[in-house]
Amino acid sequence: MSKYSLRDFWAPLFLFALFFIVQVFLKPSEMALTLVALSICGLIFALRLHKNEPKVFLLGLILGLFIEVFLGLFARQQHWEGASLMGVPVWLPIVWGIGFVVITRIGARIEGLK
């Protein structure tokens, strides 16, 4: 198996980037973008699910929610129009969670870990 396999490295990286491409160029509604984020999460986990990745995803989701919502109460650097989750879009913590997973996978592959 290649160090940078399609299922572990390239596909998750592409799918993660695809989310931002959809966000920037198609400009879908918040709920449509949330469905895109959830679909991408499902695809990434369907390609390969490592033992503790759900915990990594949950950590990223909780930390993202804390940073974006709670810390945003003290110093908001970005404003989201029509955000429905206490001032942030619903998809944002989801993207934090899957970002943790994708970054962990990339780091593991670069370091040669399985």
pLDDT digits (tens, 9 = 90+) for 51-101: 999 999 999 999 999 999 888 778 777 777 878 888 899 999 999 999 999
Dihedral (C-alpha) 74, 89, 64, 22: value to the nearest 10 degrees? Answer: -130
More confident call, 106 vs 4: 106
Residues 6 or more apart whose CB falls under 8 angstroms from that of 54 comprise none
Which H helix or E strand runs over 105? Answer: helix 91-110
pTM to 2 decimal places: 0.90
- pLDDT above 70: percentage of residues in the chain: 96
